[in-house]
Amino acid sequence: MGDIPRYEHDCTACVFLGQYNEYDLYFCPHEPTLIARRSSEDGDYRSGIVFALCNEPPYPLCEALRRALRNPEHEKLITDYVMAYQWPEYQRVYLRVREEVRCERQTL
């Protein structure tokens, strides 16, 4: 996992989460949202917490979610966001992923 971004990203509020395959991963606490940037070109990225919960290939947003949840402050922002909406199917997926990450944090 790379420690520095490969691509330019114009939001100074975003927290770099590392690299995943060809993507740079970010968490933005202001939205909140997740971002997987594939180049420095405008628009060459995927974003959205809901899309991370869809779990569709190539999975960069799923990985960004797992990494963001390792930070308790980020976890709270994401939990508040997901639970504020009436998306029962996404809430179930989110709660399962959050629990998996919490278990991983406890074993470290």
**pLDDT tens digits for range 62-93:** 999 999 999 999 999 999 999 998 789 889 99
Contact between 7 and 38 (Cβ < 8 Å): yes
At CB < 8 A and 24+ separation, what contacts does 19-25 make?
20/59, 20/60, 20/63, 20/64, 21/58, 21/60, 23/60, 25/60, 25/63, 25/64, 25/67
| Burial label, 5 (beta-carbon count in 10 A; 0-12, 13-18, 19+) | middle
**pLDDT score for 25:** 97
Q: What is the pTM of this model?
A: 0.91
